[in-house]
Amino acid sequence: MEEKEKKNGTGFFYGVIGVATLVVAIIGATFAYFTATAEDTNTIQGEAANTGLSLEVTHLSTGAVSGLIPLNSTDLQKAVTGDTAATGDPKTCLDKNNNTICQVYSIKVTNEGNSIAAVTGTLDLQPVSNPEAEEGGESAFANLKWQVLTDASTVNPDATSYGIGENPIASNITLNAEGNQTFYIVIWIDNLEESQNAADYGHFNGSVAFNSAEGSGISATFSA
């Protein structure tokens, strides 16, 4: 009888140990499960920057609407300021006889994105045929010139003059988010002090383009 009770006691002891071991195993498994699925969904967040450019080209020399006649480059500042000899009123790009001697344009580029953009701008001048003229209306502009102005009425003495073809307006200009910058250009036919009938005639188009390093771009076209 005593031996039987001893065996029963031993069995009960091992039963308790078994249950305790099972509980520890369950607790350990539960702890491991919650540790493995811990997560943070709020700390690392972000979005791609928006990029985009808009362009506005405006003809400022509104009184100068006829065909260009040649202009001495030394008189370019007078032409941009406006001749006052005839009426006393500024007449941008008109001489005292009201002949059109140049064209002035403003070019406003705006960064419509939410990040800083470095932009580069170009102007491409090209002669174009006149479809209304007989025999195709060919054009040629051997002495057509343009340059970037300091502002709407000031010639930059250090600015480079360009001719037909694509040339830079600005390079790597930084625009803040939703910022803008305005450039001014003047176009004229350089006077050679000789007949230029066979060298400069017809029509030309100008194409302004600005592009950012991110690849977005915009362009505008004008003609004369």
pLDDT of residue 53: 87
**Whole-number Cα distances in Å, 41 to 31, 35, 45, 46, 47:** 21, 16, 8, 12, 15
Is residue 97 within 8 A of residue 127, CB to CB? The reply is no
Rounded-to-integer distance, Cα 92 and Cα 71, Å? 13
Q: How far apart are the first and last CA of the chain?
A: 124
The residues that bridge with 123 in the sheet, in sequence order, are 167, 208
pLDDT of residue 116: 86
Closest CA to 186 of 101, 99, 120: 101
pLDDT of residue 19: 47
DSSP code at position 48: P
pLDDT of residue 117: 86
pTM of the model: 0.75
pLDDT of residue 91: 85
| Tokens (6 digits) for 180 | 């803008």
pLDDT of residue 193: 84
194 φ, ψ (degrees, to nearest 5):
-155, 175
The H-or-E segment that residue 122 falls in is strand 117-128
**Whole-number Cα distances in Å, 224 to 8, 79, 94, 144:** 114, 18, 16, 12
pLDDT of residue 189: 95
Q: pLDDT of the chain along its 224 residues, tens only?
A: 545 454 555 554 454 444 444 444 444 444 444 445 555 556 555 665 566 888 899 999 998 888 999 999 999 999 999 876 666 677 899 998 899 999 999 999 999 888 888 889 999 999 988 656 555 578 899 999 999 999 999 999 999 999 999 999 999 999 998 999 999 999 999 999 888 989 999 889 999 998 887 666 666 666 76
Dihedral sign, Cα of residue 75, residue 78, residue 82, residue 86:
negative
